[in-house]
Every structure is written in structure tokens, then in C-alpha cells.
Amino acid sequence: MMDLIFKYDSKADILVLKVREGTLADEELLDNDIILGYDNKGKVILVEILDASKKGLFNTLMELAKARKDTVKLLLSKISQNIN
């Protein structure tokens, strides 16, 4: 299993979570301004959250990551399983 990778673009206010290794083959924009990135097998490899700070997700995830990296991994794995 790869390490979870967080990237945040403060100018665009976009939080990117890379949850799995792979090459991006397709993307899907959900109703809540979340973009799911899929590999060529249809597995979610990244999650982009638009307007992340406005949703409060950025601060919440960063605090969780600092305090409980394993908890964040578990939460994201559950999200990823539900999306697949």
C-alpha cells in the first residue's frame, strides 16, 4: 500500500488526495464539487476537493493527518471502497 499523499493549492483552494498508485485515465465531477480520478481499471486513484477550505474539509483532514495518520488512511480507504 502506498502512503497517502495530500496536496493543497491555496490559490485555487483545491485539496488533492492521492489514495492509490496509478495513471489517471478518467475523471468524474460529483454534485458536491468533488472530482474522482480513475485509473484504466476504474479504480479511484485520487480525490480532488474544490473549495476545500470553504467546506472545512482541508483543516479537518490536516488536523486528523497530524494527529492520527492511520485514521485518515482508514477513512479514505472506506470512502474509496464505497466509491468503487
pLDDT tens-place string over residues 40-84: 999 889 989 898 888 776 666 666 566 656 666 666 666 555 554
pLDDT range class, residue 4, cuts 50, 70, 90: confident
Per-domain residue ranges for the chain?
5-83
Task: Tell me the C-alpha distance between 27 and 1, whole Å.
Answer: 22
Does pTM top 0.85 for this prediction? no
In sequence order, which ranges of the chain are alpha helices (DSSP H)? 52-55, 57-67, 69-83
Q: What pLDDT is stored for residue 68 in this prediction?
A: 59
